[in-house]
Chain A
Amino acid sequence: MVQFIDARWTDILFQSYQHFSLVVQSLLLATVVAVALAALVTSREGLAPVANTVSAVGLTIPSFALLGLLLPLVGIGAVPAVLLVTFYAALPVLRNTVVGLQGVDAGLVEAARGQGMSDAAVFWRVRLPLAWPVVMTGVRVSAQMSMGVAAIAAYALGPGLGTYIFTGLAQAGGANALNSALVGTVGIVLLALVLDAVLVLLSRLTTPEGITV
Chain B
Amino acid sequence: MNQTATTEQSGTGAQLELVDVVKQYPGQKNPAVGGLSLTVELGETVMFVGPSGCGKTTSLKMINRLIEPDSGRILIDGEDITAHDPTRLRRSIGYVIQGGGLLPHMTVADNVGLVPGLLSWDRDRTAGRVDELLDMVGLDPKVYRDRFPKELSGGQQQRVGVARGLAADPPVVLMDEPFGAVDPITRQRLQDELMSIQEELRKTIVCVTHDIDEAIKLGDRILILREGARIAQYDTPETVLASPADDFVADFIGSGSKLKQLTLQRVGELELSRPQTCRVGEPVAEVVSRVEAAGERSVVVLDERSRPREWLFLRTLAQHRTVPAPDHALQTVVDHRSTLSDALDAMLVSSHGGAMVTGSRDRYLGVISYDTVTAHIQGQQKEAL
Interface residues of A (CB under 8 A from B): 107-108, 110-118, 121, 126, 129-130, 208-211
A121 to B97, CA, bound (A): 20
A115 to B61, CA, bound (A): 12
Contact B118 A117 (CB under 8 A): yes
Known A-B contacts A114-B90, A117-B87; A107 and B150 likewise in contact (beta carbons under 8 Å): no
Task: For A130, give the chain B residue with the smallest CB separation.
Answer: B105
A209 to B151, CA, bound (A): 12
A112 to B196, CA, bound (A): 27
Task: For B105, give the chain A residue with the smallest CB separation.
Answer: A208
Contact B149 A210 (CB under 8 A): yes
Known contacts A115-B95, A210-B105, A210-B106; 10 further A-B pairs (Cβ under 8 A): A111-B95, A112-B103, A114-B61, A114-B66, A115-B91, A115-B118, A130-B104, A210-B107, A210-B148, A210-B150
**In-complex Cβ contact of A118 among B87, B92, B95, B106 (8 A):** B87
**In-complex Cβ contact of A111 among B87, B91, B101, B107 (8 A):** B101
A210 — which chain B residues lie within 8 A by C-beta?
104-107, 148-150
The distance from the CB of B107 to the nearest CB of chain A, in whole angstroms, is 7
Contact A209 B164 (CB under 8 A): no
Contact B104 A115 (CB under 8 A): no
A111 — which chain B residues lie within 8 A by C-beta?
95, 97, 101, 103
**In-complex Cβ contact of A116 among B91, B97, B150 (8 A):** B91
A117 to B115, CA, bound (A): 8
Task: For A210, give the chain B residue with the smallest CB separation.
Answer: B148
A113 to B118, CA, bound (A): 12
The distance from the CB of A121 to the nearest CB of chain B, in whole angstroms, is 7
Known A-B contacts A115-B90, A115-B91, A115-B114; A110 and B104 likewise in contact (beta carbons under 8 Å): no
A129 to B115, CA, bound (A): 19
A209 to B88, CA, bound (A): 29
Contact B104 A211 (CB under 8 A): yes
A151 to B259, CA, bound (A): 80
Contact B97 A107 (CB under 8 A): yes
How many chain B residues touch A (CB < 8 A): the figure is 24
Which residues of B in the span 84-130 have a Cβ within 8 Å of any Cβ on A? 87-92, 95, 97, 101, 103-107, 114-115, 118
A116 — which chain B residues lie within 8 A by C-beta?
87-92, 115, 118
B89 — which chain A residues lie within 8 A by C-beta?
116
The distance from the CB of B84 to the nearest CB of chain A, in whole angstroms, is 11
Most buried by A among B61, B89, B114: B114
A115 — which chain B residues lie within 8 A by C-beta?
90-91, 95, 114-115, 118, 164
Task: For B100, give the chain A residue with the smallest CB separation.
Answer: A111
A81 to B215, CA, bound (A): 67
The distance from the CB of B92 to the nearest CB of chain A, in whole angstroms, is 8
| Cβ-based interface call for B64 (8 A) | yes
The distance from the CB of A206 to the nearest CB of chain B, in whole angstroms, is 11
B66 — which chain A residues lie within 8 A by C-beta?
110, 113-114
B164 — which chain A residues lie within 8 A by C-beta?
115
A209 to B107, CA, bound (A): 9
- 18 inter-chain pairs at a CB distance below 8 angstroms, sorted by A residue, are A107-B97, A107-B101, A110-B66, A111-B95, A112-B103, A114-B61, A114-B64, A114-B97, A115-B115, A116-B89, A116-B90, A116-B115, A117-B114, A121-B118, A210-B104, A210-B105, A210-B106, A210-B148
A9 to B115, CA, bound (A): 59
B95 — which chain A residues lie within 8 A by C-beta?
111, 114-115
B148 — which chain A residues lie within 8 A by C-beta?
209-210
**In-complex Cβ contact of A113 among B90, B104, B106 (8 A):** B90
A121 to B66, CA, bound (A): 16
B104 — which chain A residues lie within 8 A by C-beta?
108, 130, 210-211
The distance from the CB of A210 to the nearest CB of chain B, in whole angstroms, is 4
B97 — which chain A residues lie within 8 A by C-beta?
107, 111, 114
The distance from the CB of A165 to the nearest CB of chain B, in whole angstroms, is 43
Which residues of B in the span 17-71 have a Cβ within 8 Å of any Cβ on A? 61, 64, 66
Contact A126 B103 (CB under 8 A): yes
A118 — which chain B residues lie within 8 A by C-beta?
87
A47 to B90, CA, bound (A): 29
A112 to B148, CA, bound (A): 16
A14 to B368, CA, bound (A): 85
Task: For B64, give the chain A residue with the smallest CB separation.
Answer: A114
Which residues of B in the span 214-247 have a Cβ within 8 Å of any Cβ on A? none
The distance from the CB of A45 to the nearest CB of chain B, in whole angstroms, is 12
The distance from the CB of B121 to the nearest CB of chain A, in whole angstroms, is 13
The distance from the CB of B161 to the nearest CB of chain A, in whole angstroms, is 9
Most buried by B among A108, A114, A117: A114
**In-complex Cβ contact of A211 among B64, B92, B105 (8 A):** B105
The distance from the CB of B63 to the nearest CB of chain A, in whole angstroms, is 11
A210 to B97, CA, bound (A): 20
The distance from the CB of B81 to the nearest CB of chain A, in whole angstroms, is 13
Task: For B66, give the chain A residue with the smallest CB separation.
Answer: A114
A208 to B106, CA, bound (A): 8
